[in-house]
Amino acid sequence: MSTNYEILSSDITRNRRLSAKKVYVVNAEVRVRKNVRLVIEDGVTILIQNGYYPKSQLKRSALIFDQGSMLRGQRFYIKACNEKYRQVKNADNGGVWFLGNFCKASKDTVSVKINRKIPPSSFKAEMISMHYLGRRDPERETSRTLAVNDDIDGISILGVGPDEWNISEIRSHYSGDDGFDVTNSHIKLDRIKVVTPTEDGLNLSSSRVEVRRSLILEVTKTKYTDRDIFDFETDDGASYLEIAQHCHVDIRGVFGDELVLSSKDLPKPKRNGDAPYQFKGVTRKAAALIYSINLD
């Protein structure tokens, strides 16, 4: 039985629903505009096409939820594909972006500013599972492949506040750069799972992330260097990861530099910045806090 594809090649400017009976292909920079509600049915698959796309800010196809946009979803999947719409195990796209109206933020040519004339964003979903999103640093950059000054994360959250974010679970598999990147935001989730990102597992830039039930970060050794479980930046203020009491934690890799761990359950990382770190268990005694106040 042939797959029923629908191409998404322009901005979504009216409320619409994505049906589980179709597979949707993003082959451009597609934005969900302000005051627009995108409903995604349970089980939907969205494909983002790999390759150079000159009309995009990111020079890659991407799905971007603008300030003031709305997502209503259950459990759905976003994966990379080639020009024939076949799923591929290679990250060379612009990934997924959520832009809020909570705080000023900027990254990879994409930026947001607080605008009281625009309503807050509203992102609600049970689970989003992402596979091979983002873009690696090319081995040989040319004028044709040139995109931004750096690689692109699998999922990027800019300027999103706790009242704008109600996505319970994020899964990020084999991202082109960091698995989960949060900039100048404050969000809460039940579950985060990051598996084998090209670079860091969880990157926070002047942000606060709260995890209630499960935190899984598999950042074990690969051929890529400078690759940590956590990377916290503090350009516009401190970064904090709060892990609730009774949360299941499974983290593996290099812990990360210049970070403070406050926990009665998780062991202290070794002073050697490249030493492997591993913990699998539950925060039984108390909540845990990982933070950086003024050091990247």
pLDDT in tens, 97-145: 999 999 999 999 999 999 999 999 999 999 999 999 999 876 555 554 4
Mark whether 70 and 5 lie in a shared domain: yes
Per-residue pLDDT at 181:
98
Q: Is position 235 within any domain? A: yes
Q: Which residue has the tokens 């598996």?
A: 195
> Rounded distance, CA 49 to CA 59, Å?
12
Q: Is position 224 within any domain? A: yes
Q: Is position 128 within any domain? A: yes
Mark whether 139 and 208 lie in a shared domain: no
Q: Is the pLDDT of residue 149 over 60?
A: no
* pLDDT mean over 51-78: 96
Task: Say whether pTM exceeds 0.85.
Answer: yes
Q: Is position 227 within any domain? A: yes
Per-residue pLDDT at 272:
67
| Lowest mean pLDDT, pick from 35-44, 70-79, 140-149, 248-257 | 140-149
Mark whether 99 and 53 lie in a shared domain: yes
Per-residue pLDDT at 258:
86
Mark whether 211 and 164 lie in a shared domain: no
Mark whether 118 and 239 lie in a shared domain: no
Q: What is the average pLDDT value for the chain, to the nearest integer? A: 93
* pLDDT mean over 278-283: 98
Is-contact 199 211, C-beta < 8 A?
Answer: no
| Lowest mean pLDDT, pick from 72-76, 150-154, 173-177, 193-197 | 150-154
Is-contact 247 215, C-beta < 8 A?
Answer: yes
Q: Is position 177 within any domain? A: no
Considering only residues 255 and 149, tell me which one the structure prediction assigns the higher pLDDT.
255
Q: Is position 188 within any domain? A: no
Per-residue pLDDT at 142:
53
274 pLDDT tier (thresholds 50, 70, 90): confident
Per-residue pLDDT at 115:
96
Mark whether 214 and 75 lie in a shared domain: no
- Angle (CA) 128-38-92 rounded to 5° is 50
Mark whether 128 and 216 lie in a shared domain: no
The tens digit of pLDDT for each residue in 11-33 reads 999 999 999 999 999 999 999 99
Mark whether 204 and 290 lie in a shared domain: yes
Mark whether 204 and 131 lie in a shared domain: no
Name 255's Cβ contacts closer than 8 Å, sequence gap at least 6.
228, 229, 230, 261, 269, 275, 277
Is-contact 193 229, C-beta < 8 A?
Answer: no
Mark whether 159 and 206 lie in a shared domain: no
Coil, helix or strand for 62? strand
Per-residue pLDDT at 183:
98
* pLDDT mean over 63-92: 97
Number of domains in the chain: 2
Q: Is position 228 within any domain? A: yes
Q: Which domain holds residue 214?
A: 200-296
Per-residue pLDDT at 147:
47
Percent of the chain clearing pLDDT 70 (strictly above): 93
Rg (CA), the chain: 18
Mark whether 70 and 163 lie in a shared domain: yes
Q: Is position 210 within any domain? A: yes
Mark whether 70 and 125 lie in a shared domain: yes
Please report which residue ranges of 94-158 form alpha helices under DSSP H. Answer: none
